[in-house]
Amino acid sequence: MSVQIRAIYESSYLNIISTIFKDLGLPPLIDRLVPVDPQCQTRASDVVWLLTLDILSGQQALAHVERWAHDIDLPKLIRPRLSPSWFNDDAIVRHSP
C-alpha cells in the first residue's frame, strides 16, 4: 500500500503560492512585458508561474516539467483550460528571449 503524502502537502502550499502570484498581479505584468510567440498555446506568465511552482516544490526547473504538470491541478493553480502537454520543453523555450 502506498500513500502519497507528498502530493497532499504539496498541493496546500502550491495553492498559497498561486494565490500570492495572482494577488500581486504578476500574470498581466509578465504578459505585458514579455513578447508572445504566436506558435505558443500558453502565455509567458503561464510558463513563469509553472516554473516558479516547480522550483518551489523542489523540482529541478526545466527537467520533466510537462510530466510534473500532469500531476498538479493546472486549472486551479494557474488558469482554466491549460493542458500539461503545452508545457513540453520546446514550448517553454519559445517563451525565452
pLDDT of residue 89: 84
Q: Encode pLDDT of 22-77 as tens digits.
A: 999 999 999 999 887 788 889 999 999 999 998 888 777 677 889 989 988 999 99
What residue type is 88 in one-letter code? N
Q: Each residue of 33-48: b (16+ CB within 10 Å) or e?
A: ebeeeeebebbbbbbb
Cα–Cα distance measured from residue 18 to residue 41, given in angstroms and rounded to the nearest whole number: 20
Q: Is the pTM of this model over 0.85?
A: no
The domain segmentation of the chain, as residue ranges, is 5-94
Confidence grade of residue 97 (pLDDT, cut at 50, 70, 90): low
